[in-house]
Amino acid sequence: MKRITILFAAMSLCAVTTTAQNKVGEFSLKPMAGINVSDLSVDEDVNYKSKVGFTGGVEAEYGVTPWLGVSLGVMYSQQGAKFESTLEEYGVDDNGRKVAAMLNLKGKLKADYVNVPLLANFYVWKGLAIKTGLQVGFLVNDKENGTVIMAGTTVPDFDKITYEDISNPSSNYFISGFGFEGSDICKSVVFGIPVGLSYEYKNITLDARYYFGLTRMDDVEDDAAAHNRCLSITLGYKFKL
Q: What is the pLDDT of residue 63?
A: 92
Cβ within 8 Å of residue 55, ≥6 positions away: 33, 34, 35, 36, 75, 76, 77, 78, 232, 234
What DSSP letter does each residue of 153-187 carry, written as one string?
EE-S-GGG--HHHHH-GGG-SEEEEEEEEE---B-
Q: Is the pTM of this model over 0.85?
A: no
Length in residues, the chain: 241
Would you say residue 29 has pLDDT above 60?
yes
Q: Tens digit of pLDDT for each residue in 178-234?
A: 887 888 889 999 999 999 999 999 999 999 999 999 999 887 766 668 899 999 999
Q: What is the pLDDT of residue 8?
A: 42
Cβ within 8 Å of residue 185, ≥6 positions away: 109, 142, 144, 218, 219, 220
Helix (H, G, I), strand (E, B), or coil: what is residue 222?
Answer: coil
pLDDT-based confidence at residue 7 (cuts at 50, 70, 90): very low
Distance (Å, rounded) from C-alpha 99 to C-alpha 80? 35
Distance (Å, rounded) from C-alpha 214 to C-alpha 53? 21
